[in-house]
Amino acid sequence: MTTKEFYIDCDGIRLHSKLDRPDDSVKGPLCILIHGFTGHMEEDHIIAAQKAMNDCGISVLRAEMYGHGGSDGDFRDHTLYKWVTNALAVVDYAKKLDFVTDLYLCGHSQGGLLTMLIGGMRRDDFKALLPLSPAWMIPEGARIGDLLGMPFDPLHIPEQLVAEDLVLSGDYIRVAQTIHVEDEIARYDGPVFIVHGDDDEAVPYSYGVKAQELYADATLVTIHGDDHCYTRHMDEMADAIRSFFSK
């Protein structure tokens, strides 16, 4: 195993990244792995996913998006457009790595939503998508005025949304309102491997089910009794990923 830590440039924004390779003497597949809202690359479930992929001979590029982890930007100012732009820069970076054969994209929660969007935008580049507990209810929540359990007027967006210790700018909501995930689902016809706990408190399990139904070629692995970050059955989430890559 080798680990490299570096920054990927995205129009002057530095994206903190780590590349973990099981064997750096051979060419092979790479999976880009992205954390969720308020998350980062060292969370237990992100590391568990990374290790499961490494076990299967897959190199993993973890990248932290705008306003998260060790990347540039303030959390308050992050938007899904910024994350989309960041993710496109990470994909460009990955495509230029000379050891990469097949490319995969995986993300948890808001990173899973991002995975679904980028999959539709770059449909020819991925061998498969792996959305983990994908938070693709966010755009609908922004349109109906319900994010983070905080009601707001979707036609008169507040300057900021405050939920406990989190502060989001109104632009987060404005941007999210314009995103139509179904369009990007329809644009991707490759394999999609969804993992979702059916006791998820943050992203309703029904969104995992609905995504599986809407994609042309999707599999849903249900982690029974598990929560948003798989804290009860982390090994089952990792096993699901291993089973996908061992096929």
Q: How far apart are the first and last CA of the chain?
A: 22
The answer to whether 168 and 201 have CB atoms below 8 angstroms apart is no
Query: What contacts 24+ positions apart, CB below 8 Å, involve 149-155?
Result: none
Closest to ligand FER by CB, 29 vs 36, is: 36
Distance CA 31, CA 166 (A): 30
> How many other CB atoms are there within 10 angstroms of residue 23's CB atom?
13
Closest to ligand FER by CB, 138 vs 218, is: 138
Query: In degrees rounded to 5, what are phi and psi of residue 61?
Result: -110, 105
Name residues contacting ligand FER, limited to 21-60 (CB under 6 A).
36-37
User: Which 8-state DSSP code applies to residue 76?
Assistant: G
Could you tell me which stretch among 77-85, 97-105, 135-143, 216-224 binds ligand FER (CB under 6 A)? 135-143
Distance CA 32, CA 11 (A): 19
Q: How far is the CB of 110 from ligand FER (least distance, A)?
A: 3
Rule CB under 6 A: is residue 167 a binding residue for ligand FER? no
Binding mask 143-162 for ligand FER (x = CB under 6 A): ----xx--------------
Rule CB under 6 A: is residue 109 a binding residue for ligand FER? yes
Q: How far is the CB of 116 from ligand FER (least distance, A)?
A: 13
Distance CA 195, CA 197 (A): 7
Among 135, 185, 195, 238, binds ligand FER (CB under 6 A): 135
User: Which 8-state DSSP code applies to residue 109?
Assistant: T
Binding mask 175-214 for ligand FER (x = CB under 6 A): ---------------------------xx-----------
Rule CB under 6 A: is residue 130 a binding residue for ligand FER? no
Closest to ligand FER by CB, 29 vs 112, is: 112
Rule CB under 6 A: is residue 138 a binding residue for ligand FER? yes
User: Which 8-state DSSP code applies to residue 73?
Assistant: S
Chain centroid offset of residue 88 CA: 13
Binding mask 67-106 for ligand FER (x = CB under 6 A): ----------------------------------------
Q: State the amino acid at position 163 in one-letter form.
A: A
Distance CA 113, CA 45 (A): 17
Q: Which residues bind ligand FER (CB under 6 A)?
A: 36-37, 109-110, 135, 138, 141, 147-148, 202-203
